[in-house]
Every structure is written in C-alpha cells, then in structure tokens.
C-alpha cells in the first residue's frame, strides 16, 4: 500500500472517530496535569509498578505536571506515618519523596486548582471497570461538573478520566479490543510458563458485590491468543474464585503452575494471599494438591508494555473520547 493511500485511510478513520488529526497533538500538549490514580501500596519493593507507569506517562505528556493519588485511606496513612520516621527513610532511600505526602483524588484535585492547573487528565490504574473505578469516576464527574456563574471561576476548564486497562462499557473503543491488547502485553509470561511446562495462573483482586466477567473474558482471550499454554484467572474476592481455579487444575491433572498477580502492584495480596505460607494461601492450597508452584512477585505495572496501556488510555481520553 502506498504511503499516500495509507495516510488517507488513517485520516478517514480518525474523522469517523471524531478526531481532527491537526488538533489531536495540540489537545495533548494543552494538558496541564495528569493524575495517576492508584489504590496504592505500602510495599517499597512493589513501587516499581507505579514508577514504570509514571515513566510511560511522562513520555506521552512531557510538558504536563504528573501527580499521583492513592485511593486507599489506609495506605496513605502508612506513608504519612513513615514521613516522620527518620530511621525508616534512611533505610529506604530509593523511595520518592512525593510518597510521604501522597493524597487522595479530591485533595489532589484541590492542590492542582491551587497551582492554577486548568486542563487535567485523571488516569486510573485499575485493571477493570469495577467498584473502585466507578467511585473514582464519581469524584471526577462531580469536580468536572462544577459550574459557576462566571466561567473563569470553574475549578477546571477540562477534566476527563482515562479508562482501565481492560476497558469499559462502550463502543469507541469496544472493551474487547482493550482486553486483546492487554493479553498481547503478557506474551513473556506465557513463554515462562511454556518453558516450565506449567499452567499459567493469574490471581486478580475481584469484588464480592460487583460483576467480574472481565476476568473470564480476559482468560478466554489469553487461551485463544496463546493456545500453547493454558491460562486460568481467579480472584481473591468474588467470582471466579480459587475454587474455580483448583477445580480446573484437578480436571487437567496439572502438575506445575506458574502463578502471578493479575494486579498492578505485587503488594499484600500477592505476597500473602497468593505466595504466602498460610494454609489458605493459593500456593499452599495448590501444593497440597500435589502441584509444583512457582510464583513471580511482579505486578502488571512493572511490565512496560502494560504500563503503556494506561498512558495510551490517558491520551485517548484527551484526543479521542473526551469522556469517561
């Protein structure tokens, strides 16, 4: 295909999506700040995931201020306590200073307003559009929807929210495409499992009061994309649970498992619920079944290709969808 023809096709496609190619780059450059909103982690060794996402976001928005917000009150409290612990800080010199003052989403928005930032993108690091994502969306909608008699007094002239890694309900783009893109970034995990002759098992967080069909669809996408290795996905809360995973392993008569957290950071759940020594830890349960288990304590965010998903979704929120 000639370059001219390809360019015409690209321009036509962008037009159908409501994107003006001449202004897309300008829209991105006009962003004053990007808020990377995560649940958070108290484990210094798990921070690599969040810092990798930070790095990819700075590549996409080199002129914007990058801020982090943790949605967990408990985790923010832990970091605030550590701020006054000189011995702890001395023993953990690699921890970025901003962590000791990390705020929640609303407080972060307020700080940006005080700094005079007007065009803000909030990018969630959640895996799928579940309960915590919807709570974050409620915050963003509320602040973005503030109207004032005089436009200049609105907190922000533009505020939008980027979708989770596995997408959200809608047609542009369809979440199926996001799930497939996410699966593409995990080819390295498949190769490791294949080399071990193991079943690849991911432990997600899940939710007891919220549907989690995205996990099942992701499992289906992985098995279709990488038929050489069987992939199973379970969650700490809700469905599919550990019971569904162990049932499948028994049915397959599996002898080896390569297990990783299907979470952005390898924090408490990964280190205790998945790879811990307690009787109810996933590793322990599988080993009692006679399965040899190898765990890798690396969060999804530590994979640069996965981290790029969030940066790309932040760009989409500004240049394509302008919404959430």
- Phi/psi for 17 (5° steps) reads -85, 0
- Binding-site positions read 205, 237, 269
Q: What radius of gyration do the chain's Cα atoms show?
A: 21
**Per-residue buried b or exposed e for 223-262, using 16+ beta carbons within 10 Å of the residue's own CB:** eeebeebbbbbbbbebbbebeebbebbeeeebeebbbbbb
CA distance 177 to 252: 29
**Per-residue buried b or exposed e for 167-204, using 16+ beta carbons within 10 Å of the residue's own CB:** bbeeeebebeebbbbbbebbeebbebbeeeebbbbbbb
Token pair for residue 47?
């921070």
Residue 120's DSSP bridge partners are 33, 159
**Which ranges of 122-271 does DSSP label H, i.e. alpha helix?**
131-144, 175-184, 187-196, 213-225, 242-252, 268
- Phi/psi for 34 (5° steps) reads -125, 125
Give the SS3 label for residue 103. strand
Residue 129 · residue 164 · CB < 8 Å: yes
- Binding-site positions for Co(2+) read 205, 237, 269
Query: 193: closest CA among 240, 227, 244, 236?
Result: 227
CA distance 231 to 221: 9
> Which residues in 52-118 belong to E strands, given as ranges?
65-70
Indicate if 205 belongs to the active site. yes
Q: Describe the chain by its helix, strand, coil percentages, rounded to 5.
A: 50, 15, 35
Q: Which of 68, 126, 205, 321 is catalytic?
A: 205
Q: Would you please indicate which residues are annotated as catalytic (active-site) residues?
A: 205
């Amino acid at each position: 295909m000639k370059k001219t023809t390809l360019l015409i096709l690209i321009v036509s496609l962008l037009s159908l999506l409501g994107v003006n190619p001449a202004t897309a780059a300008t829209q991105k450059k006009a962003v004053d700040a990007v808020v990377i909103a995560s649940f958070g982690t108290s484990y210094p060794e798990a921070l690599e995931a969040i810092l990798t996402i930070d790095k990819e976001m700075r590549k996409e928005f080199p002129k914007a201020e990058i801020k982090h917000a943790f949605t967990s009150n408990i985790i923010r409290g832990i970091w605030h306590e550590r701020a006054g612990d000189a011995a702890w800080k001395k023993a953990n010199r690699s921890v970025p200073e901003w962590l000791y003052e990390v705020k929640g989403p609303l407080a972060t928005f307020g700080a940006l307003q005080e700094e005079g930032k007007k065009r803000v993108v909030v990018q969630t690091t959640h895996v799928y559009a579940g309960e915590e994502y919807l709570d974050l969306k409620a915050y963003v909608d509320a602040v973005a929807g503030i109207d004032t008699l005089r436009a200049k007094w609105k907190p922000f002239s533009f505020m939008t929210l980027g979708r989770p890694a596995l997408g959200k309900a809608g047609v542009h783009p369809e979440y199926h495409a996001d799930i497939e893109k996410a699966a593409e970034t995990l080819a390295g995990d498949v190769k490791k499992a294949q080399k071990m002759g193991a079943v690849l098992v991911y432990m997600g967080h899940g939710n007891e009061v919220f549907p989690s069909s995205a996990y099942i669809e992701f499992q289906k996408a992985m098995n279709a994309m990488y038929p050489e290795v069987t992939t199973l996905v379970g969650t700490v809360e809700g469905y599919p649970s550990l019971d569904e995973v162990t049932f499948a392993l028994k049915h397959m008569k599996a002898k080896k498992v390569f297990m990783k957290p299907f979470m952005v950071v390898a924090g408490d759940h990964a280190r205790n619920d998945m790879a811990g020594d307690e009787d109810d830890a996933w590793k322990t349960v599988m080993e009692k079944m006679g399965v040899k288990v190898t765990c890798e304590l690396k969060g999804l965010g530590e994979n640069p290709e996965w981290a790029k998903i969030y940066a790309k979704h932040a760009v989409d929120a500004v240049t394509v969808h302008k919404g959430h």
